[in-house]
Amino acid sequence: MAFAACTLARQIFESLSSVTVLLVGAGETIELVARHLREHHVRKMVIANRTRERAQALAEEVGAEVIALSDIDERLKEADIIISSTASPLPIIGKGMVERALKARRNQPMLLVDIAVPRDVEPEVGKLANAYLYSVDDLQNIIQHNLAQRKAAAVQAESIVEQETSEFMAWLRAQSASETIREYRSQSEQVREELTAKALAALEQGGDAQEIMQDLARKLTNRLIHAPTKSLQQAARDGDDERLAYSAQQPPGWNSAPFSYFQDRVNSRL
């Protein structure tokens, strides 16, 4: 509740460094509120409490002024924000008291946050113009709303992380694939030059052109698909479905394109 009350104050006032806050009570909840307000550099804090001794210790910690409960009526007009949490069985701040304060303030708005049970502020105060009263129930609704927003933000964040991770991994695979393709092309060029030289030598020796070209196509095909075939076989033996699927999705036609290419070349020359 203490955090919710301070959050509400920060949402309504652009900066707490220009406001005066009246804290009514000096119990655990008000202690937490006072510490939160100090962290946000509130301009001035005034603590009103039944016993001065308890309030004085807190005031020294957070740099606040201490007044008696009986002084609230006179000092209320100074406060932009009033946060109250006492164990009083009866309201401490009444409608008439707030009306007088608003008049003295020339109707500058006041935020009243009543986090006491039973209430410290008469509910009728909420009907006054420029008096904005929030009770425990209101704060609970704000807390639930903020919780729902945080959950929605968490879901959105997870979605963003998942999408960005997926895109990054795709990019990473593309970089890896690009390097692999360059290496594969380089190796393929070496194989092509080697086998072509052997085929030309065989042709110069008067060998049958069709047989030589078919042999060239077969050997080139076998050499080109040897590495990817072994990778697929190893993935299958390891039961690595992900690697098997990835290997199977590599540039299509590894085992058919080279043979078809050279077979077409053979047929065109026969």
CA distance 66 to 267: 104
Q: Which helix (H) or strand (E) holds 136?
A: helix 136-204
Kindly give, in sequence order, each residue whose CB lies less than 8 Å from that of residue 13, ignoring residues fewer than 6 positions away: 19, 80, 81, 111
CA distance 178 to 3: 53
User: What confidence tens digit (pLDDT) does each residue in 157-201 have?
Assistant: 677 667 766 775 676 567 666 666 677 677 777 877 887 788 777
- The winner for highest mean pLDDT among 201-210, 239-248, 258-267 is 201-210
CA distance 197 to 203: 10
The size of the chain, in residues, is 270
Q: Is the pLDDT of residue 265 over 70?
A: no
- Nearest by Cα to 220 from 200, 249, 197, 191: 191
User: What confidence tens digit (pLDDT) does each residue in 98-125 have?
Assistant: 999 999 999 899 999 999 999 999 999 9
Q: Which of 46-60, 68-82, 148-162 has the lowest average pLDDT?
A: 148-162
Contact call for residues 195 and 259 (beta carbons, < 8 A): no
pLDDT value at residue 227: 66
Residue 89 DSSP symbol: S
Q: Read off the pLDDT of each residue in 128-135 and give the average, rounded to a whole number.
A: 94
Beta bridge mates, 132: 111
Contact call for residues 101 and 110 (beta carbons, < 8 A): yes
Q: Show the domains of the chain with their CATH numbers.
A: 2-134 (3.40.50.720), 179-269 (no CATH)
Q: Is the pLDDT of residue 20 over 90?
A: yes
Q: Read off the pLDDT of each residue in 9-21 and give the average, rounded to a whole number.
A: 88
Residue 187, phi-psi category: left (phi > 0), alpha (psi -120 to 50), beta (remainder): alpha
> Percentage of the chain with pLDDT > 70?
74
Taken in order 52, 54, 55, 59, is the CA torsion positive or negative? positive
CA distance 237 to 239: 5
Contact call for residues 219 and 191 (beta carbons, < 8 A): no
